[in-house]
Structure 1
Amino acid sequence: MNDINILEYLGIFAFAASGAHVAIEEKFDLFGIYILATVTAMGGGVLRDIVTDVGIPLFFENYTTIPFIILGATIPVILRGKLKYNNMFVIIDAIGLSAFSVSSGIKALESGYNLMLFLFATSITGVGGGVLRDIITNRKPEIFKTDVYCIACILGSILLWFLYPLLGTHVSQHISLIVIFSIRMICYIKKINLPVIHKN
């Protein structure tokens, strides 16, 4: 298991926890909580695999993610009312966003994707699960309202696209990881958001 895989598992845990947290807020039953946690954790990767036509989505062939989803969903259930989606989860979530985006980007580069498909693969893997979570719970997707989230993913992915042929896999993926994580966390801490255009 390499370091990217470890970071991905942390991300799966954090995304599952965020899905369960939202499900509890929306008064889902226990089955609904675990389903929403799974959708949040793996939805982006499944969407990516469907659109890029790679066959059966990886989630349905690799069971190693399931324990992390169960653990991530169970903690909010046990600590309901006591657990806040605090800085610790934001940090883990940012790690997951970075790892998902970069690992997906490396696979896209190795598959010879063009720039547009490359950016789609990296972005949808990082944010697709959260968008599906919000759609299922009838919420406006958070990435379109607050947080520099998908933008961090896109900027880091573009950097990966240009650095990969120059520096190779190892160096370029770590630089991209650091950039995505840093942008996400700086914007969160400083409360930096894109401007909202008001009607009047």
Structure 2
Amino acid sequence: MDLSLFHILEILGTIAFAISGALSAMNRRLDLFGIFIIAFVTSIGGGTLRDVLMGNTPVTWMENIIYIYLIGIVTTIAIIFRNKLYIFKKSLFLFDTIGLGVFTITGVEVGVQNDLNPIISVALGAMTGTFGGVIRDILCNEIPVIFRKEVIYATACLIGGVAFVILDRLGVKLDIIYITTSMTVILIRLVAVKYQISLPTFYLIRK
């Protein structure tokens, strides 16, 4: 496999989401099989959706067995060092945020490289970044993070995606775009959580 920056980012995103999924599963006291399943679907969910929507089949993890090995190794390490990871109370949030930022950019890049409309490319990036986490939360019987009031999640993806498209149109070097926009997504979410910034919620007033 050609280890371009794009593939390195995909590997980093896979690692981050594998740890995020494993920690979430252990937090729900799932058994060993459940932990590996949650880690796996969290890691490959967004990329699989991206590839299917783009008609790129077999999807990436089916063609490159390294992803399966990587998820297995990372999940095993997360289980072994679970107590050390939980010393950092924000560890689940941190790994989820890293995965979100990285996978968002890989999704936007695929859209741009296939000459999709910029709006569609940004949407593809948001779906790539969030879908694995949505599956994880549903399987763990939780309201998906993307729908919770207390965090900026999909919004960070959209802003990062727009930044990617703008920088690409300006002719900025691709490697710089990758790093700048993925960090943008990560920093937006970190700041939003730290200062409790959220989108407004609406509800019916019952008389």
The alignment status of 1:117 with 2:120, answered yes or no, reads yes
The size of the alignment, in residue pairs, is 200
Taking structure 1 as reference, are residues 189 and 67 closer, same or farther at Cα in structure 2, changes over 3 Å only? farther
Taking structure 1 as reference, are residues 82 and 160 closer, same or farther at Cα in structure 2, changes over 3 Å only? closer
Higher mean C-alpha displacement, 185-194 vs 34-43: 185-194
Matches within 5 A, 1:5-84: 5-80=7-82, 83-84=85-86
Is the 8 Å Cα contact of residues 7 and 95 (structure 1) preserved in structure 2? Answer: no
Matches within 5 A, 1:118-137: 118-137=121-140
Higher mean C-alpha displacement, 83-92 vs 14-23: 83-92
Q: Percent identity?
A: 33
2:152 is matched with 148
Higher mean C-alpha displacement, 92-101 vs 133-142: 92-101
Aligned partner letter, 2:35: I
2:176 maps to which of 150, 171, 175: 171
1:41 CA displacement:
0.8
1:102 CA displacement:
1.4
Higher mean C-alpha displacement, 61-70 vs 139-148: 61-70
Distance in 2 between the 1:171 and 1:6 partners? 14
Taking structure 1 as reference, are residues 19 and 91 closer, same or farther at Cα in structure 2, changes over 3 Å only? closer
1:183 maps to which of 177, 180, 188: 188
2:103 is matched with 100
Distance in 2 between the 1:37 and 1:196 partners? 31
The C-alpha deviation readout for 1:81-119, integer Å capped at 9, x for no partner, is: 564263455444433322211122122111111134312
Is the 8 Å Cα contact of residues 23 and 92 (structure 2) preserved in structure 1? Answer: no
- 1:147 aligns to what SS in structure 2? coil
Q: TM-score, normalised by structure 2?
A: 0.84
1:158 CA displacement:
0.9
Q: TM-score, normalised by structure 1?
A: 0.86
Is the 8 Å Cα contact of residues 104 and 121 (structure 1) preserved in structure 2? Answer: yes
2:165 is matched with 161
Taking structure 1 as reference, are residues 188 and 54 closer, same or farther at Cα in structure 2, changes over 3 Å only? same
RMSD over aligned Cα, in angstroms?
2.3
Aligned partner letter, 1:149: Y
